[in-house]
A and B are shown apart, each in its own frame.
Chain A
Amino acid sequence: MSSTIDAPRASSLADLYAIAYQIEVDAVERYAMLADQMEMHNNPALVDIFRDLARAEAIHRDEICRMAGDFDVAAHARQTACWRIGESPESANLGAADYRMSPHHALQMALAAEQRALGFFRGLLADARDPDVKRLATELVGEEAGHVALCLRLLQRYPPPGGGRVAEDPDPPASQD
């Protein structure tokens, strides 16, 4: 199933703020969950990476709030920024996570999320009629493009581990309960 069908539309500046805000909120939630998972599963390198990503998205989220000014973005997001089907585009895919992931895999996950966000905002920009919406959409596209570029740069620093796959665990899983 495609990830962004039935996505909300930005027919006003307020809508676009709300959408952008919600995308970041969801992204923060996912990265925080992944950081917690890695903490629980003793993969400290990835805890740091996911916490950093969560922090970066949180800054972006707050930035959007600031740009929106007095208007209550969060409240408006609850009304309008809903993906009834699929997830908001920048959400990392929790289903792809693995406790033995390397930083490379984590960045691949982040890259995929950023690329989805970029594609999403480009689509909004193409559809935009209102000049204010156009201006903000352009800004957001630029922002996401920057994130994609950052991920790509970081990926060069963290090449894929041997074989490109997550490491094998020599121990069997534990039986509980």
Chain B
Amino acid sequence: MNANTVPACRAADYRSEVKPIWCPGCGDYHVLMAFTRAFVALGVRPEQVAVVSGIGCSSRIPAYTNCYGFHGVHGRALAVATGLKIVRPDLTVVVASGDGDGYSIGGNHFLHACRRNVDLTYVVMDNHIYGMTKGQPSPTTEPDFDTALTPGGTGLRPFHPLVIALASGANFVARAFSGNPAETAAIIVEAIRHPGFSFVEVLSPCVTYRPDQRAWKDRVHRAPVDATDDAARAARRVMTDDGFNLGVLYRGSRPAYAPRHDTAVTDSAELEREFEL
């Protein structure tokens, strides 16, 4: 079939028949909606999209889409996606993660994915908690948040993913709120279109372990200023904002990673020459 004869896809075409296990009220449902809407807006066929994830409630998203999916192990989604995108630059590769998956166990890959700048879109559903494993603190949990593992709170300063992304070289940085799926979708569309590594932090409430996050819908607001192309300025802004500033915050212009290929491809039989006595 050629592209002209294939009918355009509707949001439902990007959804699988699998019913999510997410708690009703969970922000991740909205993120799923945002994904499907973004794909509609991009006009990309479901089989041309790969959604790669690790482990966590948020990481369950691939099977709920009708795209190619990869539900791997905890924290390693970016690595899987990097390998995939390098061998298959034709695909749209979206990586889904949570604040535990992406910032704790997978933290190192986050730094290096930003730095490597492979053309991926990284969507982290940040609920400041480990939802899947009964509500332990994540790197973005507030220091005084009481949990069974950390009675009285961790006492630790939360990690600032957006600043870290900027410092590590991400080429596009945005913050979204799941409760605004239309804007989240628009940001994801832009993130996918932007070359290189795009990072979208989505505030996505966990209604089970963080019922307080139901109030996020009243706290979020649009960023008062436009995105900058100056990473230092963007970093200063996000370090001083209230954490609920939404929108595209930074657009960089680094070229995306491209593996080096020799123009003249050699027959593999040629390669043994160097060993001949």
Tell me the A residues contacting B by CB distance below 8 Å.
Answer: 1, 29, 33-34, 36-41, 78, 82-87, 94-99, 101, 172-173, 175-177
Contacts and interface: CB of A to CB of B under 8 A. Distances in A.
Given A1-B180, A173-B209, A175-B133, 11 more contacts: A1-B217, A39-B19, A40-B21, A94-B24, A95-B30, A95-B207, A97-B24, A99-B24, A173-B208, A176-B21, A176-B133
12 contacts: A1-B220, A33-B29, A37-B24, A41-B23, A94-B24, A95-B27, A95-B179, A95-B207, A96-B25, A98-B25, A99-B24, A177-B55
Contacts of B33: 29
B186 interface: yes
Given A1-B220, A173-B134, A176-B132, A99 B182 contact: no
A86 B217 CA distance: 11
Nearest to B71: A177
Nearest to A95: B179
Nearest to B134: A175
B75 interface: no
Contact of B132 (A82, A96, A175): A175
B107 interface: no
Contact of B30 (A41, A83, A94, A177): A94
Contacts of A38: 24
Contacts, number: 78
A95 B183 contact: no
Interface residues of B, number: 37
Nearest to B213: A95
A42 B19 CA distance: 12
B11 interface: yes
Given A83-B182, A86-B180, A1 B222 contact: yes
A39 B19 CA distance: 9
Contacts of A99: 23-25
Contacts of A84: 182-183, 186
Nearest to A3: B180
Given A173-B134, A173-B208, A175-B132, A95 B182 contact: no
Contacts of B135: 173
A94 B33 CA distance: 11
Contacts of A175: 132-134
Interface string B148-188: 00000000000000000000000000000011111100100
A99 B27 CA distance: 14
